[in-house]
Amino acid sequence: MSHTFALDKSCPETGARAGLITTSRGAVPTPAFLPVGSQAAVKALGPDEVRAAGASIILANTYHLHLRPGVGVIEKVGGLHRFMSWPGPILTDSGGYQVFSLARLCRTADEGVTFRSHVDGSEHFLTPEMVIQLQERLGSDIIMPLDECPPYCQEPELIREAVRRTHVWAERSRLARRRDDQALYGIVQGGAFPELRRQSAEFLASLGFDGYAIGGVSLGEPKQVMFSTIEETVGWLPEDRPRYLMGVGSPEDILEAVARGVDLFDSALPTRTARNGALFTASGRRNIQNACYRDRDEPLDRDCGCYTCRHFSAAYLHHLFRSRELLAYRLATIHNLTFVLGLMRRIREAILDGRFAALKRAFLAEYRTTDEETRLVQKQKWLSSRTEPESLAPFV
């Protein structure tokens, strides 16, 4: 097995931990954030820019690559790493969440999922075995099984059925695995129900996966519900395997999740908000399109060492966004990824030095977050926008 995980140090005041995931294509110091490149590209950036921002691993998505350009195309040119010119580790999501949130006319049974593509309306059928085979053909370093990810709700029967099916698919995925140079992570479901989370975590841990993901969060639930769900789930997972929180990427949420023992994160939030002109700073997000930046002849963040802040003024970024110049998306994305990946580096160093609790307190004391009501409204708008035709949402 070419995938290993070593725990370097834990924080005595919290559940925070620093470790090292080793793959055949390089090491991933944890805690780590995975920039999202669903369609074999981190939007607006080249691989060298993603690496310069501080990324050691990225995420791609099986659902998107299966639909376009097709796994056969990627396989023919030598695999996903060569196709997108990324030399480091790649984690591929199974696409289960996308099937349930993007696809049209989705029909689910224990055998698999039938759905119509959100791209062209063509009908497709995927089984857990097929999803594993697709990822083995892609050649990614960490792969995920097909799971059922229901929306946030308070209906225990709906969540219980999703957990049951996720477990059935997890067992079949393990049996379908043929390559020993890829790590396979299990995905814990269970909604916001502690007992279902415990049952799911214990069952998947008994199967001996190489790592464990926490799925079914950041789907519109209040933050305290999300944090308690994370804490409940982590408590039942093995300490000697990586813990991966799927779909969470705001700085404040990362800090809270690290404090609860999470090692890996992925989210399109930093890159998506960048394309909308919302840029991270130590005091919170700043909307570069606001009039106060029209003539500000200094970097947006004077303490940031990213390419954007070293070379361009806030006034220039404001001009690019107001003029809808494509360069705006690239420069803003570089900044936001550098900020988040830099925060991950600081978190890891603080854990190793025994300063994590102090870092968390200091960061959250200065960082102004979006109020809960506004955040939930924005989240629902984004979730709704994912069902729109691509022509209406080219940068989603």
* Active site residues per annotation: 93, 266
CA torsion 117→104→42→74, rounded to 10°? -20
**Residue 353 corresponds to which tokens in the numbers above?**
């030095």
Give just the sign of the alpha carbon dihedral 64, 37, 46, 324. positive
Q: Which residues contact 13 (CB under 8 A, 6 or more apart)?
A: 356, 357
Report whether 274 contacts 306 (CB < 8 A): no
Adjacent-strand bridge partners of 215: none
Q: Give the three-class secondary structure for 250.
A: coil
Please, what is the end-to-end C-alpha distance for the chain in angstroms?
Answer: 36
Helix, strand, coil proportions of the chain in percent (round to 5)?
A: 45, 20, 35
Which residues have a Cβ under 8 Å from the Cβ of 384 and sit 6 or more positions away?
A: none
Of 193, 187, 113, 202, the C-alpha closest to 157 is: 193
Q: Is 70 left (phi over 0), alpha (psi -120 to 50) or beta?
A: left
